[in-house]
Chain A
Amino acid sequence: MDRRLILAPLISLGVLSIIPPLLGFNNYYLLLASLILLYTTMVSAWNIIGGFAGQVDLAAGAYHGIGIFVTGLLFIFYRVTPLIGIFLGGAVASLLAVAIGYPTFRFGLREVWYALSSLALVVILYKLFLVWESVGGTIERYLPKVGFSWFYLTFPGNYLYYYLMSALLLAATIAINIRIRYSRLGYYLLAIRENEEAAEMLGIDVRRYKLYALIIYSFIVGLTGGIFVLMLGYVHPVLFDSWISIQTAILGIVGGLGSIAGGPIIAVILLAVAEYLRVRFGGYIPGLHQILFAIILMLIVLFKPGGIGEWLDSLWHRITARRRMEVA
């Protein structure tokens, strides 16, 4: 297992680093790839709260937006370098996460209340920043133009470095997934997902462990917001987007609850498809990729609830079974 912990992230980093040259270092593709990596990171992080702990979280849009605003505003108003700002964004996201998680993770409270408050959080933040003229308002606020700077993590016109940051974050998130899965935290989260009452009776403080998962997940999603705002170059309340929440949960579920590989794999594929659809048909049917995602989600939940993770698992068993037979 410890081998997996090092191999998987290294392999993914390796794979990811061939992409830029493959794309000819084209800026548009690098930007697109970076976005896909960031959204995929969100899905992998979501796996901790949704896949392991089994909680339906629809707050990714909120945590992502917090990362955007905290990093962006600190940079705009106080010239705080994103090197710090990004991590503060993650921290604030986690704080908000606990604010809605703490009351709703009470033992015995029905799942729907956490799901609802997580979705509500996105809308609250959107409206709040819309109304809060001094830091938000209706116009874009641009990040200061400091030219090419390592200190401020700004690389105008060149998305290669953001691509690398995103790739690193994804690899780290996958590694965190693996580390959690085979530890006490992971087993406790799975137990909570499978049967909360049985878990309580085995000595597991259900609320506390759900909060652990929530804090880790929301922190990582906050980080993605910090990187995103550097690429985008401005902040605007509309960036608190409920679709990001829904997309993350859909990809996590379709990838397979708890499957560490399933989520990222399906995320990369479907996000690329979504971009293609947006470019090709966006003029006629702006929400086509959303419709596609929704239909896939409903089909998977109704007919193959294990998601593609289940399919990957059986594939893996067939491969290793053959090897086991050969050895024997």
Chain B
Amino acid sequence: MPKPILEVRGVTKRFGGLTALSRVSFNVEEGAIIGIIGPNGAGKTTLFNVITGFLKPEEGEVIYDGQTITGLPPHRIARMGVARTFQIVKPFPELTVEEAVRVGAYLRAKDEEEVNDIVDDVLEFVGIEELRDRYGKELNLIQLKLTEIARALATRPRLLLVDEAVAGLTPGEIDDIIEMMHRINEERHITVCLIEHIMRFIMRVSERIIVLHHGEKIFEGKPEEAYEDEAVIKAYLGERRI
């Protein structure tokens, strides 16, 4: 049994009186694509923030590649091979797409030539080569999201965390992202962990899904089984988007 690349053990996160995450535990095997879903406010982004070091949990641990990373600063975790995109895009408005991706590339590259190679490679892989010289502030939503993915890929991660990649996109654009997630996982051998609250997207992409509700894990298993699970159905009762 291959060692999991990510282990989340009993993570609890509180904000004053509010418990955002409650003893959440799961593993992610290397090479998998798993999805994390749940209604709004379920704690999904908080979970990512804890994993990537932006928040410290009150209880529990996060273990990446066998090493405890709980409490490490985000840049250390990124160096170890974890990359991430954000729920609300965080672009570099005054930099061109090429420059933005360059920033990511500098993490692993040993010299300028390698930086250039990584940039060219990633721009082509994500399919935004023609946006190279456009400034961040000129881009529309899908272009910004693609740039953010490219930027993250330039750091040559082993684990990619994607937070709501398709919010606000058209169905056609969503299909493109679905295809890209598969390519990232299969061609680049990157473990992918997706957060989404649009079921349609996540069911088509993930091999396994985890359902969060009010900060607790209420289901873990195959996407099809989630539809039958009682707890999941109850949690989404009232949500029209199934």
Complex Cα spacing A50 to B47, Å: 34
Judging by beta carbons under 8 Å apart, are B91 and A200 in contact? no
Interface pair B83/A201, CB less than 8 Å apart: yes
Residue in B52, B83, B99 whose CB lies within 8 Å of A190: B99
State the CA gap A258–B135 with chains docked (Å): 15
Look across to chain B and name the residue whose beta carbon is closest to the beta carbon of A187.
B103
Say which residue of A190, A197, A205 sits within 8 Å of B103 (CB atoms).
A190
Among residues 155 to 204 in chain A, which have CB atoms less than 8 Å away from a CB atom of chain B? 184, 187-188, 190-191, 193-195, 197-204
Known: A107-B73, A190-B99. A202 touches B90 (CB 8 A): no
The answer, yes or no, to whether A250 is at the interface (CB within 8 Å) is: no
Kindly state whether residue A93 has any CB partner on chain B within 8 Å: no
Task: Specify which of B74, B90, B106 is in contact with A187 (CB 8 Å cutoff).
Answer: B106
- What per-residue 1/0 map shows which CB atoms of B143-171 lie under 8 Å from chain A? 00000100110010000000000000000
B94 within 8 A of A: yes
CA–CA, A201 and B49, complex, Å: 11
Residue B93 lies at the interface, judged by CB distance under 8 Å to chain A: yes
Distance in angstroms between the alpha carbons of A191 and B95 in the assembled complex:
8
Q: What are the residues of chain A within 8 A of B90 when measuring CB–CB?
A: 195, 197-198
Q: Is the CB of A194 within 8 A of B75?
A: no
Interface size band for A: 20 to 34
Which residues of chain A come closer than 8 Å to B215, judged between CB atoms? none
Q: How many A-B pairs with Cβ below 8 Å?
A: 72
Q: Given A187-B99, A202-B107, does the pair A195, B75 have CB atoms closer than 8 Å?
A: no
The verdict on A198 contacting B92 (CB below 8 Å), with A188-B103, A191-B103 known, is yes
Do A194 and B84 have beta carbons less than 8 Å apart? no
Q: How many residues of B contact A (CB 8 A)?
A: 28
B73 touches A200 (CB 8 A): yes
- Interface check B38, CB cutoff 8 A: no
| A29 to B104 CA separation, bound complex (whole angstroms) | 49
In the complex, whether A206 has a CB less than 8 A from a CB of chain B is yes
Contacts of A199 in B (CB 8 A): 103
B79 at the interface (CB under 8 A from A): yes
**Residues in A whose Cβ lies below 8 Å from that of B102:** 187
Q: Give the Cβ gap from A54 to chain B, nearest Cβ, in Å.
A: 10
B30 shortest CB reach to chain A, Å: 20
The minimal Cβ–Cβ distance linking A312 to chain B, given in whole angstroms, is 15
Checking B78, B79, B106, B151 against A188 with a beta-carbon cut-off of 8 angstroms, the contacting residue is: B106
Q: Report B's interface with A, CB cutoff 8 A.
A: 52, 54, 73-75, 78-79, 83-84, 86, 90-95, 99-100, 102-104, 106-107, 136, 148, 151-152, 155
Query: Could you name 25 residue pairs across A and B whose Cβ atoms are closer than 8 Å?
Result: A107-B73, A184-B106, A187-B99, A187-B103, A188-B103, A188-B106, A190-B92, A190-B103, A191-B103, A193-B94, A194-B94, A194-B95, A195-B91, A198-B91, A199-B103, A201-B74, A201-B83, A201-B152, A202-B152, A203-B78, A203-B79, A203-B107, A205-B73, A205-B75, A206-B75
Instruction: Knowing that A201-B74, A202-B75 touch, tell me 11 more A-B residue pairs with CB under 8 angstroms.
Output: A184-B106, A191-B92, A191-B100, A194-B91, A194-B92, A195-B90, A201-B84, A202-B103, A203-B75, A203-B155, A205-B73
Q: Chain A residues in contact with chain B, CB under 8 A?
A: 107, 184, 187-188, 190-191, 193-195, 197-206, 258
